[in-house]
Amino acid sequence: MTDPSKPMIESAGICPLCGRGNGCAGAAGRSHEGCWCAGEVFPQEIFERVPEEFIGKACICKECLDAFKRNGG
């Protein structure tokens, strides 16, 4: 029983790059201001790797962000 008119809220807690949990407070129904991602800088280039339907919906996880920064973007 899936309702196509509802947003894919379950996927909001999944990192769109690695498919693991992103630990996002917003996905857990809490304030996004307390989320770890609110205090991080996400390079624009990392969003180019995110499938369009996930942009603005699901957070990238810290592991992917760290790996991206380590590799110099």
Q: What residues line the site for Zn ion (CB under 5 A)?
A: 15, 17-18, 24, 26, 35, 37, 59, 61, 64
How far apart are CB 22 and Zn ion at their closest, in Å?
Answer: 6
Residue 4 or 29: which CB sits closer to Zn ion? Answer: 29
- Residues 65 and 46: beta-carbon distance below 8 Å: yes
Residue 3 or 48: which CB sits closer to Zn ion? Answer: 48
Whole-angstrom Cα distance, residue 58 to residue 17?
Answer: 10
How far apart are CB 31 and Zn ion at their closest, in Å?
Answer: 10
Residue 50 or 64: which CB sits closer to Zn ion? Answer: 64
DSSP letter assigned to residue 42: P
* Helical ranges in the chain per DSSP H: 44-47, 62-70
